[in-house]
Amino acid sequence: MSQLCIPVSSEKDRLTLVLSLDTLGNMLSGQCPFPPGFTMVETLTLTSPCPSSTGAMLSPSAICHAFAKCLETGACKNLKSLTVSGLFRDHFSSNNEHPLRTVFHALSQGACPHLTEFHCAANGLQDYGATAMSLWLANAAPKMQVLVLSDNNIADAGMMSLAWAFSHSNASLTTLRLGQNALADRSAGALAAVFKSRGFDALEVLDLHRNAIKAPGAKCLLQVLRMPTDVPRKLREINIDATALRPTRTA
């Protein structure tokens, strides 16, 4: 069994806990106790299983399902930051279901109403994972400020779902990281539409580096950003590949 990290008070006076996925599974299955004060944790980071883990371990999907049930009880209602990056980097599903789908469903039911940061990079979400997340973002993430979805192989279809969510949620998002995905010009257009609908009024950082956005998509996005608005935009940083800003050569 991997070692449990004792909750500590961070610089922001948040109760912080770091758990490996196998330790969480053992806790949820009753093989080891939850640490004192677990329900008061505000920053939770889940890491990959410890290589030296011994004994029976639930499958990652089973752990996510059990964690979702735990969330639904209100056990993590005080969470403000949740990190699950890199847990399913090599995930592949033949039935278009992601292990985190049940967690997204629990969150969409209001399990963590105070969540302001969600770090979910390198999890192989693809379009179906992004779509599963969109209902939560649209209806039950009113305080979300930082959303990290880098390196998830999300393409235009997934971005359409996310853009719909951003347009229908409260405009509290300040940082959106979508680098290292498969977003193309349609995705850039969808993001531009969110800006036009004022869904990104609070956005300060937009990261789109290492995607498939070309000159037409970049131009569409930048045109919207340059349009005058009643309320000044807060965007101060946009990361996009330089190649996307070069005009397409014609024969």
Domain residue extents for the chain: 1-153, 155-171+183-203+211-246
Query: Which of 1, 120, 86, 122 has the alpha carbon at shortest distance from 50?
Result: 1
pLDDT in tens, 150-180: 999 999 999 999 999 999 886 799 999 999 9
Tokens of 121: 């990079």
Query: Which of 103, 49, 102 has the alpha carbon at shortest distance from 76?
Result: 103
pLDDT in tens, 58-96: 888 899 999 999 999 999 999 999 999 999 987 767 677
Tell whether the model's pLDDT for residue 19 goes beyond 80. yes
Rounded Cα distance, 149 and 244, in Å = 20
Topology of domain 1-153, CATH: 3.80.10
Rounded Cα distance, 134 and 161, in Å = 6
Residue 131 CB burial class (10 angstroms; 0-12, 13-18, ≥19): buried
Average the pLDDT over each of 53-67, 125-139, 194-208 and give the range with the smallest value: 53-67
Tell whether the model's pLDDT for residue 204 goes beyond 70. yes
Q: What average pLDDT does range 1-17 have in this prediction?
A: 57
> Which amino acid, residue 160?
M
The confidence score (pLDDT) of residue 2 equals: 39
Residue 94 CB neighbours (<10 A):
5
The confidence score (pLDDT) of residue 229 equals: 86
Rounded Cα distance, 189 and 66, in Å = 38
Note whether 207 and 150 are within 8 A (CB): yes
pLDDT in tens, 103-126: 999 999 999 999 999 999 999 999
Strands annotated E in the chain: 8-9, 15-20, 43-47, 81-83, 117-119, 146-148, 175-177, 205-207, 237-239
Alpha-carbon dihedral angle through residues 221, 222, 227, 230, given to the nearest 10 degrees: 70
The confidence score (pLDDT) of residue 244 equals: 64
